[in-house]
Amino acid sequence: MENLSIDYILRELSSMKIATDVPRCRHCLSKVLQLCSSIVAQDLSPFLPPVVNLMAHSDLLIKKSACLILTKVSECKSELFLLAVNTLLKDIEDSNPTVRALSLHTLCAMKHATFVEHRYSSVVKLLSDPSAYVRRAAVMSVVTMYHDEKSVSKDAVVVNRLYELVRDDDPLVVVNCLTVLEEILESEGGVVLSRKMVGYLVKRLESFTTWGKAYVMKLLQKYKPKSEEEILDLMNVLDPFLDNNCATISLYTLQFFLLLIKDLPDFKDDVFLRCQKMFLGVFTCGNSELISCFLDYLQKEHKPDKNAIQKLFADHYKVVFCKQKEPGYLKIQKLKLLVELIEEENFTAILEELILYSSDRDPQVSICSIGCLKRLVLEWPGVSTQLLKAFHKLLRSERNHVVSNTLQVLVTFSPETLKNLSEVSTQLCLIAQKMSDAEAVVAVLYLIGQFELDNADSLDVIEEFINKFSELDVKVKTQLLMTSFALFCKQPAMFQPILAEVIDLCMHDDDCDLVYQAKCYFSVLHTDAQTAMKIFC
């Protein structure tokens, strides 16, 4: 029964017997639902007559499916809507609370005028329903109404009832009321949070569901307590939530606390310490997207609080190490955090990790990691030997992108730093021949120009490039030009013929920029040799 055509399903649903054959009916309705979600926009209006009939069926699943299909096909106009409205209004009086809630939802989801005129009275009626499940649905339907008719927010009956329902027994009803009030009273600044209300919510916080707790905590962030005593009271009561099972709740609580103690900076350290366990827990959970969110939060919100973060993770830096299977963006974020955590004790361990990531398969991760190594060079001048070894190792890597990335990062160092890394230069010539990536070649050429190399080798390299001149990328040609000038200025006798050849090739090149550059440099050299030496070396 896999590929049913629309006609077949339509015939099945319209047949008289379908209402009695429950499993077949369910199956047909599920097929219609599948059609609804398909990419190609199907015209589903021929389904409307049988679907409306089935809405009055006693089987709950058929009712649910029929109502759902009705909401999806709501763009069509039809007299059948009147029949549908009557069915829904009857169902609102049904004894089964699930049916009542379902019909209210469907009633409010439809935009057609026939539905709209009845929904206000139904919603108001069901806001006082004895069943909690129905009350929840009624509360959420208020929002649906509001999005259609903004005047609902001014309606005293509804708003007062919603405020009353905040004191309801059922925790979900309470949370729903708060969310709805927040939304419809947005223009007035949302729910009014008096001290009594806050006290009441904090007392009931335990009984809410996870999402309820998270939402209420976020809501509480709006509240500004009047006295320091009140702040401390609140913090004491809400303390257990800092270390909650659910990371979002802890995060919201943390935000709330930080808002509360804006004027009391001494508590900050303590607060962060309390959250430590939670943060560590987040890092070890398998949810990489969540970890990414938390890292983002730490980076953005706490740029000035580097010390605090360092203290948090100092002993547990291993938790931040990346796992093989994590997505690229997460590894990059973790790397950035790792660099912040480096201290004397953990230097070697973190360095090893960085070297490991530098040879990662993902080029983005690799370049970020090498960038971190560069930071280390700049910030920790005393440990340059280790770093040097690291760079050596990387340059010898078999993975081209690793070498290329290393070279690109080396290029960004200032000449003084480079002098410290002069041993790197020995490998440069070998690499130059290996590389095919334009950026890498540019980097190599630049480096060759910077270091005092064994002349024969560099001569060979340049000659090679001259032979391949026409195939080279423009950037490479430019760099070749610059390097030739630099080498010439260091060793005029040796490199004079090479320079002449390069200039000649460049001037006859297609790219006008290159031609211009060549002409320009030549004229500088020609006019004032001394100044030229200073410029190019």
Name the residue nearer to another protein (CB basis): 287 or 531: 287
Closer to another protein by CB, 54 or 247: give it: 247
- Our CB check for another protein shows the closer of 200 and 211 to be 211
DSSP 1: -
Q: How far apart are CA 42 and CA 36, in angstroms?
A: 7
Neighbours of 22 (CB within 10 A): 14
If the CB atoms of residues 122 and 179 are measured against another protein, the closer one turns out to be 179
Shortest Cβ 363–another protein spacing (Å): 10
Which H, E and C letters describe 136-199, residue by residue? HHHHHHHHHHHHHCHHHHHCHHHHHHHHHHCCCCCHHHHHHHHHHHHHHCHHHCCCCCCHHHHH
The minimum distance between CB 504 and another protein, in angstroms, equals: 41
Nearer to another protein, 239 or 454 (CB): 239
Closest distance to another protein from the beta carbon of 362 (Å): 7
The overall longest dimension of the chain from CA atoms, in Å, is 103
Q: What angle do CA 98, 104, 106 make, to 5 degrees?
A: 100
Write out the residues near another protein by the rule CB under 8 A: 26, 29-30, 33-34, 37-39, 41, 60-61, 64-65, 68, 98, 133, 136-137, 140, 143-144, 147, 172, 176, 179, 209-211, 214-215, 218, 245-248, 251-252, 287-290, 292-294, 296-297, 327-329, 362, 364
Minimum CB separation of residue 279 from another protein in Å reads: 12
8 Å CB contact between 173 and 161: no
CA distances in angstroms from 302 to 5, 241, 344, 376, listed in the order given = 58, 21, 23, 21
- For 73-111, where are the alpha helices, taking DSSP H only? 80-92, 97-109
Q: Which is nearer to another protein, 30 or 412 (CB)?
A: 30
State which residue, 194 or 210, has the beta carbon closest to another protein: 210
**Cα–Cα distance measured from residue 43 to residue 496, given in angstroms and rounded to the nearest whole number:** 78
Smallest distance from another protein to CB 325, Å: 12
d(Cα 113, Cα 214) in Å, to the nearest integer?
Answer: 37
Task: Name which of 180 and 486 has its Cβ closer to another protein.
Answer: 180
For residue 129, the minimal CB distance to another protein (Å) is: 15
- Residues 515, 506 contacting (CB under 8 angstroms): yes
C-beta closer to another protein: residue 60 or 529: 60
Q: Which two tokens stand for residue 454?
A: 């064994």
Shorter beta-carbon distance to another protein: residue 85 or 173? 173
Output 64 or 490, the one with its CB closest to another protein.
64
Q: Quote the least distance from Cβ 136 to another protein, whole Å.
A: 7
End-to-end CA distance of the chain: 80
Amino acid at the residue 426: T
Nearest distance from C-beta of residue 217 to another protein, angstroms: 10
Sign for the pseudo-dihedral over CA of 414, 419, 421, 423: positive
Structure tokens at 485: 């000038």
Instruction: Provide the Cα torsion 238, 243, 246, 247; round to 10°.
Output: 110
DSSP structural state of residue 424: G
Smallest gap from Cβ 151 to another protein, in A, equals 17
Distances 112 to 48, 73, 124, 478 between C-alpha atoms, Å: 14, 11, 19, 68
Whole-number Å distance between alpha carbons of 270 and 293: 23
CB of 285 to another protein, least distance (A): 9
Cβ at position 61, least distance to another protein in Å = 5
CA distance 6 to 31: 9
Smallest CA-to-CA distance from 448 within 402, 495, 405 is with 495
CA-based nearest residue to 342, from 334, 351, 333, 331? 351
